[in-house]
Homo-oligomer: A and B are copies of this chain.
């Protein structure tokens, strides 16, 4: 608990100093220069003043983050905007070392868990090889080695109460690199698909069946990644008549969302890398699942294709095809298994109606947030602020499909929200769906730390589109986003800031811009307690 308080104090101090120098000081100055009142309504009201010679919060030893492609970055004051961003004091607030209770996993426990998994896999492989030889099935076999120092293990061990990875963790660029190139030793349906047991999810009548195309790939070093194949060209926009819930899943949106999350310093999206997958050699020939093998076929154009695993109508019109075998896709690093790191999935209070005509309460009641603010777990701690962070993230990527969010049960209500499954983002660059921002615009609250970073990214020196373009250049499937999508990020960022500005004008800064962790409960509740409370 002491460590907890220490961390709280450190964060508060850091935020207070940033606050003092970035907001209060310039305000006092501008007052001194005779400006009448705070809200003179220029678009730059809430942007950061240039910092030069200002005292900055305590910096960690890392002045710039390692770039994601593994090359060394340019000096912080050089041509790299991304380097300069990550060298900025706001991105270098030093945090005290994490205590064991602030980490998701214990190293020994995890090693034991993975060793058991690895030996189960080896037994399975032995049996499978014998059975396959007996039935004359050719399965490509690869040498597999479990390395306790592998980047994916380090990623799992690095997950904390605050973020999925630390800013300076060299395991993350390493993991991205491995997902891009390491040999795939097996492919299978994901648990979601297996739950369907071969049938379409026919209860969800409005959902298209074609999205059941994601696969779990296992790498040579036992790393596991979720593969989402390319369904749509980069320059195709979602048809205007599509409902958000039947929209395609886009592999490039999944990749871009990871980079944006990192640029925003949220670090709530697991690492995602693009990869040109050979669906014959790296999926068909390494799968041990007969059902998966059965959905492969050769198209009239002699390309290898596979389709969704549904018994009914969802067949070739939903297929994806290689050219002739190579297919772009996103690879998202798996989180630790649910048995060792359980998570719970909680409906988003601002969930949409998944019907044609239905409307949810938040769409019709402008005081919806007042109700939510009274309700557990949104009535204390950071949960509501975290939801607002998520809505800003979703608005920037234009994802309308955030029906649930997940948290690690270990950290209880104070844990961060995982931003998983972002493939329905980046559908239309030409449209800004303001309703996604409802949590922000209805609650009129935002974390000061989030706002400061958004303001920084609105400045020409750190322009969001520029740092995103630079960040995405590290991916092998670049360009990940078309220019119109990159420019939409800047436009949407301005709209977020304008919503905050309107709130401040209406309610005053103190009400709107909330000090992070300020209402933190003393002791994090565990998920079991959460469940009991319901």
Contact = CB atoms under 8 A, between A and B. Distances in A.
A433 to B, nearest CB: 9
A317 B210 contact: yes
Interface string A199-214: 0101001111110000
A244 B299 CA distance: 10
A206 B315 contact: yes
B200 A317 contact: no
A107 interface: no
Contact of A209 (B300, B311, B313, B319): B313
Interface stretch (A235-243, A390-398, A490-498): A235-243
B200 A316 contact: no
Contacts of A480: none
Given A246-B317, A310-B313, A313-B200, A300 B208 contact: no
Nearest to A323: B241
Interface in A118-160: none
B205 A315 contact: yes
Which of A246, A310, A312 is most buried by chain B, counting CB atoms within 10 A of its CB? A312
Contacts of A246: 315-317
B207 A297 contact: no
A478 interface: no
Interface in A301-327: 301, 303, 305, 310-317, 319, 321
A241 B300 contact: yes
B241 A315 contact: no
A242 B321 CA distance: 10
A312 B241 contact: no
A316 B356 CA distance: 9
B316 A206 contact: yes
Given A208-B315, A209-B313, A315-B246, A303 B241 contact: yes
A379 interface: no
A242 B208 contact: no
A305 B241 CA distance: 8
Nearest to A247: B317
Contacts of A242: 299-300, 316-317
A246 B299 CA distance: 12
A348 interface: no
B316 A313 contact: no
B243 A202 contact: no
Nearest to A313: B209
A299 B206 CA distance: 13
A313 B312 contact: yes
Nearest to A296: B356
Interface string A16-58: 0000000000000000000000000000000000000000000
Interface in A236-272: 240-244, 246
A345 interface: no
A430 interface: no
B315 A313 contact: no
Contacts of A305: 241
Which of A303, A311, A317 is most buried by chain B, counting CB atoms within 10 A of its CB? A317
Contact of A357 (B202, B297, B301, B317): B297
A298 interface: yes
B297 A356 contact: yes
B321 A208 contact: no
A424 to B, nearest CB: 13
Contact of A316 (B243, B314, B317): B243
Contacts of A206: 315-316
Interface in A159-210: 200, 202, 205-210
Contacts of A319: 241
A300 B240 contact: yes
Contacts of A240: 299-301, 303
Contacts of A297: 356-357
Nearest to A210: B317
A300 B209 CA distance: 20
Interface of A: 200, 202, 205-210, 240-244, 246, 297-301, 303, 305, 310-317, 319, 321, 356-357
29 contacts: A200-B312, A202-B311, A202-B312, A205-B311, A205-B313, A206-B315, A206-B316, A207-B315, A208-B315, A208-B317, A210-B317, A240-B299, A240-B301, A240-B303, A241-B299, A241-B303, A241-B321, A242-B299, A242-B300, A243-B299, A243-B300, A243-B316, A244-B300, A246-B315, A246-B316, A298-B356, A298-B357, A310-B313, A316-B356
A-B interface, 4 closest residue pairs, ranked by CB to CB distance from nearest? A241-B299, A240-B301, A297-B356, A209-B313
Given A205-B311, A243-B299, 20 more contacts: A200-B313, A202-B311, A202-B312, A202-B313, A206-B315, A206-B316, A208-B316, A240-B300, A240-B301, A240-B303, A241-B299, A241-B300, A241-B303, A241-B321, A242-B299, A242-B317, A246-B315, A297-B357, A313-B314, A316-B356
